Every structure is written in structure tokens, then in C-alpha cells.
Structure 1
Amino acid sequence: MENLWRDDEIDPLRNKAGGEAADVALAERVYSSRLLGREPDLVLHGGGNTSVKVDRTWPDGSKRRTLHVKGSGWDLATIEAPGLPAVDLEPLLAARTSGGMSDPEMVALLRANLMDRDAPNPSVETLLHAFIPHAFVDHTHSLPILVLANQPDAEQLCAEVFGDEVAFVPYVMPGFDLSIACGDIYDRNPGCKGLFLQNHGLFTFSDDARESYSLTIEYTSEAEDYLAGKGAALAADLANEANEPEALTARLGEAFAAAFPEMASVAFDYREDANVRSYTGHDRLDEISRRGTVTPDHVIRIKPFAMICSEDDPIDALAAKMRVFAAEYTAYFDRHAPNAAEPKTMLGPQPKAIVVRGRGIYGVDSSEKGAGIVADLMVQTTRAVIASEALGSFRPISEPDLFEMEYWTLEQAKSQRK
């Protein structure tokens, strides 16, 4: 993967920031965040987050160590300084020895310590950024890393590929517990330059913006080289082919209206390329398509599994498959909701991704934008799964963990507000 850092681009931004060290560091943080955001195989549709620690003068005149961290709703590709809200670092560090807190309590802690009370919510992984002592922290869902991280022997692969430069973190649900786990593992590996999170992604860190960013590129490139050496090279991202089966799209629309009459509208986004065909033509498609998502937060967009159909299915058959999907999704909810710590409200049971055997994939949503996001994530999924299966076996988080992520208390609160 190419390192996009250019001194002739960052130097004018440093100069524009003025002589204040905190503002210069923030300018560097914005610049390197955008570099990460420009590469879909590092972050896609809001995935990943970045931060920088600086010394700032607060409105009350006090000097405080301050954490600027990516805020909710901001995309790294286009982030500006307001998208990295400032949080008082000291209370965050104190939370590490608090004995534990719920995710809503964690969000309340972050909001209570914002410099600007009107700023967006800091990332749910803010405490993880706080507990790593380096100034710059970069978190990505690097696709080559995810191919390794979703293997049954992910810990051994981490050691083989990165040695002791990157410490392995077993899967933990994002939020407070993951922050504690990563802080503890960093403390046991103080010389490490990165954290390899099983089934989740990569953290890199440094006191220098360029080095932290460059470590992400370096480790991603090493993962790419390792996969290629094992005959499991990650296929290049390809342009979408303009050969949508329009008759099938029309039948899907009619079938959707029949199966889910309560939905006011539905949008489809069709994708097809050689990688997608390799996935949709897989002889074990029915099985591998139900294993889960390549990184946990994708389940919020695409659900834990897709609906599968054939190009020549008539409307009645498509509607029947949609009803079967809804029944299977309801059963999935019923299996896991009773075990949740608090009551859960089931999300809509309609499919978000539709796989056409031997052809392409549809993203499905109530809006064209949402359908496009689902389609993007599914195209990326096909490449990761193909490479994972070539290397060994694609083994993402378990179904109970998928449910915990999809029905995360913070996500339930979002859907209820909507």
C-alpha cells in the first residue's frame, strides 16, 4: 500500500496553523486522518478513528492535557478540526481504575469533559485512545489485516508477520471493556508500535504524526506481502460493471413490496465484478455467507447474513425467500435477546444484502445512499472472504458476539431516537 504522506502538502498546513504547538499537532492530525480516509481498504463508511494528545488552554484559563479524537458522524476522508472534539484527558485516565462502567455511562463521561459542549460525541473508542500514552493514535479496519485477524490462528499469524512490534488483542466487544483490555496489553508490551485486534482491525501509535500513519501503511503492506506469499493475495478493488439484471431488479422490487408492505420505499444498488462473481459462484456460498462480517461494526449496516437468490427466480419465489429470511432473522433475535443485559427492540427483519448466485450483489435500504453503503461493504466483504478462504478459513466473531454488536445499547438508543 502506498504511503501518501507529502511534506509539500503538510508544511503549508503547519504554517497556517500558526506557532501554537497544539494547533500544529491538530493540523497534522487532520492531514494524516484524511490520508487514511482516502484509502477504502483502510477505512470505509465511517470505519476507524484517530486522535492526538496536546496541551491546551481551556476557557477557564487552566492548562490541561487534551485529547482530540474523531467525533461521531465525521468521515476521516473529509474530516476538519471540528470533527476532532477536545476532551479533558485526566478524567478519562482516571476512568481506567473506576472499577467499570456501562457504555451509556462512558458516553456521559466523555460529554461531561468536552471543551465545547456543542461538539459531536467523541468516538466510542475514545478511552482506548486515551489509555495509549503516545500523542498520535491511528485505528483502521485495514482489509489485509482483517484477512489475518479473521483466521482461527490469528494470534500465531500476528507473531509470524509482525514479531514483537505489534501486540495481539483477543476479541473484546468495542467500548469500555476493549479500552481496558488494550491498555493492559499495551502496558505488558511497552515497546510495541501497534495493536492487532482479533476480528476487528489495527491500532498504530507514535509521538510523531508521520510515523503513526506510516506504521499503518507499513503493517498493511506486510500483511499484503504475507498473503501474496501464501497464494492468498487480496484481490484488487475493481470497477463496477454496468450489467445490472434489470428484470431481476424489477421483480425484487415487487417481491419486496409483497413481503414487506409496511416499508414505504426501498432502494437497490447492484454491484458485479470478477471478485463478486468469484464469491457468488463459490461452491460453499450458502455456508460462508452466513458466518458473519469481516469487522464487527459492519453488522450494523448489512446484518449478520445475506439473502441468496437466483437470477431467474420469479416474483413469488423471491417474496418467499424474503419471508424465509425474515423468519430466520427473527429466530436469530429470539435466540440471543433473552440473554441480553437489558431488553432489546428487534430491528426490521428485511434483508439488507441480496446475493445473486453466480452474478452480483444488491445493497438494500430505504434510501439510495444507504443501499450504496451496504453494496460497498458487501463488495469489500467478497474480497476479504475469498482471500481468507485461500489462506485458511474465514472465521469472524461468533453469532452471539454479532448480536451483541448489532444490538449494542448505543446503537439501540440511536434507532429509538430515529
Structure 2
Amino acid sequence: MLETRTGSRLANLWDEARASKMSESERLLYRSNLLGSDKRITNYGGGNTSAKVMEKDPLTGEPVEVLWVKGSGGDVGTIKLDGFATLYMEKLEALKKLYRGLDHEDEMVGYLPHCTFNLNPRAASIDTPLHAYVPKKHVDHMHPDAIIAVAAASNSKELTARIFGDEIGWLPWKRPGFELGLWLEKFARENPNAAGVVLESHGLFTWADSAKECYETTIRIINRAIEWFEQETRGKAAFGGAVVDTLPAAERKAIAAQLMPAIRGMISASERKVGHFDDQDAVLEFVGSRDMEKLAALGTSCPDHFLRTKISPLVIDFDPAKPDVEKTLAGLPAALETYRQGHAAYYERCKQPDSPPMRDPNAVVYLVPGVGMITFAKDKATARISGEFYVNAINVMRGASTVSSYMGLPEKEAFGIEYWQLEEAKLQRLPKPKPLAGRVALVTGGAGGIGRATAARLLADGACVVLADIDEEALAAAEAELGKKSGSDFVRAVKLDVTDEAAVIGGFAETAVAFGGIDILVSNAGLASSAPIEETTLSLWNRNMDILATGYFLVSREAFKLFRTQKIGGNVVFIASKNGLAASPNAAAYCTAKAAEIHLARCLALEGAEAQIRVNVVNPDAVLRGSKIWTGEWKEQRAAAYKMSTDDLEEHYRSRSMLKRSVFPEDIAEAVYFFASEMSAKSTGNIINVDAGNAQSFTR
């Protein structure tokens, strides 16, 4: 029976009334999703689940035993039925006759497709034999922090016996593969009363003859480890105790905002990186501790951890007792180069004749005493998940080092996983990155029609986007809509008044903390006004200048600061207007401010060129649909200026254009994308008119 736990214990979430109505494969899915819903059980992408199910053979119509097992690259928390590989058990058993021994075990992966049941296209993972050969119907392989803390202790075999007795066995480290599958089978057959096994430096296997029993066994065993650690560590200082103070939250974020763009620029030579900042309690406890540097240098233990984080992090030289960010920034180039050289030396020490070429030698995880943890990866989701995995590693180090001695995976074994040919093959199968992958864009006026369409276009090609707008309600709606479509990792929202200098500075700091820096600024915040010159008040004039000229200056200045810190170029796109080139009746303030925008862009293009900062302008005209500026007085004022009803205004603009076509927000977004992408890599100081043709606004 499942032990009932509260507080830090895992809850039994199994609903038998619901599960009893499911097929065996559906119960496997249900169990998998329950296990993957709690990071104390396994992290994103980690762990495997399986069930041996009787199915009707599509060729013979006879019942056959089929292994359902999580497919390669899947995540048990979010997997669907089509995420499982299905293989004939009879054929998997036949593979044992083909096995030529440990030196040839990798070749067994090539045989797995020949065992596929019902032409299932889902690729089987390297862990398939680990599930196939355990003589039980249901098998869970999880990576709980509490269990890996046992597995990573120097006396892990002794601790396993002390905590679990004969119910859970222990096996020494062995890289996942065919041989480990045979080891597990041998252990299970020789120990028929055992419910599972702890794998040294790896994780937990549990098994049973029903889905419910397997799930409850997994939960119960993890809970027992959690309880044991709580009892054994009570009153003991983790990581040797604190030696530095944690800075206040606002100060931590301010320091991260300064460090992240500098680091990002130094590690983005081969591909742009996106950052993530984490200052949760577990991280702060670790980075402020006496043993942090010693433990960090030992590296992570579980293969799932270091495949995401590299073996070890880079500890940033920073003293929270005497905060000197400038000193830290000055020391970063040497620190990063030392880390790169260390990775290159590790590669040279461990490489084999058939090893893949050395990959990016930069650190993934950066630990800042008193501040927190920064992670960088090729995209935001990967950076966040890498951070989550290092938090798992911290939890493991806490447990293992408090009750025993923490033991990282031996260097040669770690290299064998990191530079495994099978892992390299998996990386080579990944889809080609989208054109804007690794790029970060900030779009002012991001909740409006043009801003939202622009954000959607940039997101579609892989960029991360910060929506900046003064309208909180519209901003929240835009963030929710775009996040649902493109993934919440890729979208952030910040309330921003572009006329408020402090707010602009703060907004760019938030961007730096959210994503590590910025590559693209789309300056789009706007308003519209219409009045004869003699009726144009000073406040109306100033309002136009404040938003359309001063606002564009303020956001451009902050973007330039980040661009120059990163030293990897930059891209500014102004959304100006046809009215910046062509005069319109009763709109002197608006037209003049838009003309100022265009000239500011020309000046910035001159200033930024030597640093590979490009500045270009998109000039829309008459974008009525979806545009917030056309929902108020402006529409009525323009209709009055042309002596027509507001209902006739869109047709008026369409018919007056040379091409006789309406202009929509998505049309402006395409022009912005052109300037923001490498398609215009050799263009700066240019203007694209997206106005369906207006001879008066031709550039000269």
C-alpha cells in the first residue's frame, strides 16, 4: 500500500475510478503524466515509463506482446499516446542472440527499428532495453533528487541498503544501453521480491505487474528517501554553511541585468544565446555557501543533468559584501576564456578516434555569489530547463554532501555520455534553427495592431519578444494570446511609458534579466492627433514630440547601450509614417514629430554602423484595421479633414493609393521582419514605404 504523506511528501494522485475505464496503454499514459507533473520525481525530458501490452498483430490478427515505451526525446509529463514507441517483445528478445558484447552495444540501437510494431514512426530511445528485459509488465525509470542524492554519494550502495533494505537493490554505474538492460534483467530475476533498483550516479528503476502498483511503488520509494534525508539532515548546515550574505531581490536583479548582456556577448560568437536568471532559495543557499566552489568543480552526476548543464558551471568572481560590478565585468573575458580552455583540455584528454568534433566550449551555468544563477542556451526554453536541471543537481549535492561525500560522475564516463555518437546522432536529427532563433526583440506599442502583428511575425521565426506598452489590459491580452501560440517562454510583457526615462531604463533592465540582452528594437509606440495649426495647443504639440520623438530617442539610447555592451551588433526598426515624408492637412504636430523620427533614424544609422548596429525605418500609411490610434478621435478628425463619414475612410485611403489596396498590420510586420532579419544584413539608414503607393511620399 502507498504510504500516506503530507508536506514535502509526494501525494498519491492515482484516481482508480478514472483509470479503470482506460485501456492498458492509456493507463501507461496516465501514469506517465502523473509522474512527470512533479519535478521532485523527474525533470523535463527526464525519465522513461513503459508497459508490456497484449495487442492484435495487424498482419496475423493474433495477440502479441508489445512494449510501449517513451520514445526518444519525449517528456513524460506532457507526452501523448503517439509519443510512445511500440515494439514486438518477441523481436526484442531475439536481439539478445545478435548481441556481440559491450564493445559493440551501440550497434544494437540500429536493430530497434526492425522490432517496430504496427509501423509506428516514433523512434525508440537508447533506454528501450532497460525496460524490455525487466520481467515485469510495468517499469518506471525516474530521476528524483532524493534518489540521485543516494546514487551520487560515495557510499551509495550502503545507503541504499540502509534506507530500503531488500526492497530496492543497487547496481554500479553503467552507461544506458543494451548491457545495462541485461544487468537489470539479471538483478530482477535473481531478486524476485525486489521492487526496483538504484543505479549509481543515475536514478531509480521500479517495476510491478500493474500500472497502479508501479506508480504507487515509485511514489512510495521516493517518499521514503525524502523522509530519510529529512531525518538525517535535520539541524545540519547544508554545503558547509553560509559564508556570504544574499543581496536584496532588487539588487540581485539589477546586477543580473548588468552581467547577462556582457556574458551573452562573449559567448554568442558562433550562435546567439538566450539567458535565464534564477534566484530561488535553493540557488541562493548554494551560491552563498562555503563548499559551493568545491562541489561545483566536482561536476554533476546524473547524465540527464550534465547533458543539459555541462559537467560543471562557471563561478563568477563577485563579492556581495563589497559589490563591484565593474570589477566583475572587467574580469569576465579572462574567466570565460579560462573555462573554454578547460573544456578544450577536457575534450583532448578524453576524446576517442570516433568522437564527434568539440562542441561549444562555453559554460551553460554561471553562479554568482549572493546573487543567483544565470544560464544561457540556444533558446529561452532550453536556458530555463538547463537552470532547472542544475537546481536538481544542487538538491542532489545538498543531500549527498550532508549525509556522506558527494561524488560526481568520473570524467571519462561523463565525456562518454556528452560526446556519445548516439547523442551526436540525436543532435544532428534536430530541426534546423529558425532564422531568428536566439534573437531577442523589444517591441514598443506591442499591444496595438502593428505591434502585436510585428511580435507575432518575429516569434514565428524563432525570436523571443518583449511586448512593451502603456496599456496594461491590452498588454496582458497580447502576452496571453502570443504566449499560447508561440510558447510562454518566448514572450514577456513590460508596462512601459516611452516618455518616462526611468521607466525606459527599467524596461530594458527587465529585458536583460528575462532574456539576457537584446538584438532587435522595434520602436512603434505612437499616437495620432489632428488639428488646424491655430487650434494646436502647446500640450498637443508636446504630447506628439514626447511620444514620437523623445520616446524614440529614449528607447534607442537604451538599446544602443545594450548593443555596445554585447558587442555583437544590433538592429533598430522605427515605425514612422508616410506623414514623415509627406505633409497632411491639419496634422502639423504629428507630421513634424514623424519627420523627427526619420531623421533620428538617419543619425543613429551613422552612429551605429561601426558597431554593426543597423537602423532602418518602415513608413506605414492608413493602417486602420487593428490599430488603436484609429479607435478614438483621430479617425473622426481625419474623416472631418476629408469631409466624409468615418465609415468611408478606409475606402478613401484604399482608392487614393496608387495600387488601390488597403494596408494591414501584417503588411507592416513583414517589412519590419525584412529589416530585422539577415535578409537585409547590408542595409542601414533605409526607408520602406508600406502605403500601397503614394507618389508624394516617394523617398528622394
TM-score by length of 2: 0.55
Give the drift of 1:247. 4.3
**Residue 253 of structure 1 aligns to which amino acid in structure 2?**
P
For 1:332, which of 329, 346, 358 is the aligned residue?
A: 346
Q: Is the 8 A contact 2:305 2:390 kept in 1?
A: no
Would you say 1:53 and 2:55 are equivalent positions? no
Would you say 1:374 and 2:380 are equivalent positions? no
The residue aligned with 1:283 is 290
Would you say 1:77 and 2:77 are equivalent positions? yes
The residue aligned with 1:176 is 178
Would you say 1:43 and 2:42 are equivalent positions? yes
The residue aligned with 2:253 is 245
CA 1:95 to 1:118, structure 2 compared with 1: closer, same or farther past 3 Å?
Answer: closer
Q: Is the 8 A contact 1:165 1:194 kept in 2?
A: yes
Would you say 1:412 and 2:412 are equivalent positions? no
Would you say 1:34 and 2:33 are equivalent positions? yes
The residue aligned with 1:353 is 365
Between the aligned partners of 1:221 and 1:408, the Cα distance in structure 2 is 33
The residue aligned with 1:3 is 12
TM-score by length of 1: 0.90
**Residue 121 of structure 2 aligns to which amino acid in structure 1?**
A
The residue aligned with 1:238 is none
CA 1:233 to 1:69, structure 2 compared with 1: closer, same or farther past 3 Å?
Answer: farther
Give the drift of 1:5. 0.8
Give the drift of 1:32. 0.7
Residues 292-301 or 306-315, more deviating? 306-315
**Residue 131 of structure 2 aligns to which amino acid in structure 1?**
H
Q: Is the 8 A contact 1:85 1:122 kept in 2?
A: yes
Q: Is the 8 A contact 2:255 2:371 kept in 1?
A: no
The residue aligned with 1:164 is 166
Give the drift of 1:323. 0.9
Would you say 1:267 and 2:236 are equivalent positions? no
The residue aligned with 1:19 is none
**Residue 48 of structure 1 aligns to which amino acid in structure 2?**
G
Q: Is the 8 A contact 2:236 2:402 kept in 1?
A: no
Residues 100-109 or 350-359, more deviating? 100-109
The residue aligned with 1:193 is 195
Q: Is the 8 A contact 1:167 1:186 kept in 2?
A: no
**Residue 192 of structure 1 aligns to which amino acid in structure 2?**
A
Q: Is the 8 A contact 2:149 2:397 kept in 1?
A: yes
Between the aligned partners of 2:174 and 2:70, the Cα distance in structure 1 is 21
CA 1:260 to 1:147, structure 2 compared with 1: closer, same or farther past 3 Å?
Answer: closer
- CA offsets per residue over residues 212-258 of structure 1, 9 Å max, x none? 111111111111111112126999xxxxx77653444444323442x
**Residue 362 of structure 2 aligns to which amino acid in structure 1?**
Q
CA 1:385 to 1:91, structure 2 compared with 1: closer, same or farther past 3 Å?
Answer: same
Would you say 1:95 and 2:95 are equivalent positions? yes
SS of residue in 1 equivalent to 2:74: coil
SS of residue in 2 equivalent to 1:393: coil
- Number of residues of Structure 1 aligned to a counterpart in Structure 2: 400
SS of residue in 1 equivalent to 2:374: strand
The residue aligned with 2:145 is 143
Between the aligned partners of 2:379 and 2:302, the Cα distance in structure 1 is 23
Q: Is the 8 A contact 1:49 1:123 kept in 2?
A: no
- CA offsets per residue over residues 314-357 of structure 1, 9 Å max, x none? 433112211111001111111100xx362331111011000001
Give the drift of 1:372. 0.6
Q: Aligned ranges for residues 10-29 of structure 1 at < 5 Å?
A: 10-12=19-21, 14=22, 24-29=23-28
Between the aligned partners of 1:263 and 1:397, the Cα distance in structure 2 is 29
Deviant stretches of 4+, over 4 Å: 232-235, 241-244
The residue aligned with 2:609 is none
Residues 205-214 or 186-195, more deviating? 186-195
Would you say 1:316 and 2:323 are equivalent positions? no
Structure 1 unmatched runs, 5+: 15-23, 236-240
- CA offsets per residue over residues 181-220 of structure 1, 9 Å max, x none? 2122222212211111111111111111111111111111
Give the drift of 1:148. 0.9
Structure 2 unmatched runs, 5+: 1-9, 238-248, 319-324, 431-700
CA 1:234 to 1:84, structure 2 compared with 1: closer, same or farther past 3 Å?
Answer: farther
Give the drift of 1:286. 1.9
CA 1:232 to 1:146, structure 2 compared with 1: closer, same or farther past 3 Å?
Answer: farther
CA 1:142 to 1:314, structure 2 compared with 1: closer, same or farther past 3 Å?
Answer: closer
SS of residue in 2 equivalent to 1:145: helix
Give the drift of 1:270. 0.5
Q: Is the 8 A contact 1:136 1:206 kept in 2?
A: yes
Residues 104-113 or 162-171, more deviating? 104-113
Q: Is the 8 A contact 1:227 1:233 kept in 2?
A: no
C-alpha RMSD over aligned residues: 2.1
CA 1:243 to 1:383, structure 2 compared with 1: closer, same or farther past 3 Å?
Answer: farther
Between the aligned partners of 2:382 and 2:329, the Cα distance in structure 1 is 24
Q: Is the 8 A contact 2:86 2:120 kept in 1?
A: no
Residues 166-175 or 286-295, more deviating? 286-295
Residues 98-107 or 373-382, more deviating? 98-107
The sequence identity of aligned pairs, in percent, is: 28
Give the drift of 1:133. 1.2
Task: Please say which structure displays the higher CA radius of gyration.
Answer: 2
Give the drift of 1:99. 3.2
The residue aligned with 1:120 is 122
Between the aligned partners of 2:53 and 2:256, the Cα distance in structure 1 is 55
Residues 47-56 or 314-323, more deviating? 314-323
The residue aligned with 2:262 is 254
CA 1:247 to 1:280, structure 2 compared with 1: closer, same or farther past 3 Å?
Answer: closer
Give the drift of 1:297. 2.2
Would you say 1:393 and 2:405 are equivalent positions? yes
**Residue 392 of structure 1 aligns to which amino acid in structure 2?**
S
The residue aligned with 1:131 is 133
Between the aligned partners of 2:236 and 2:160, the Cα distance in structure 1 is 17
SS of residue in 2 equivalent to 1:212: helix
SS of residue in 1 equivalent to 2:13: coil
Between the aligned partners of 1:350 and 1:45, the Cα distance in structure 2 is 23
CA 1:242 to 1:54, structure 2 compared with 1: closer, same or farther past 3 Å?
Answer: farther
SS of residue in 2 equivalent to 1:401: helix
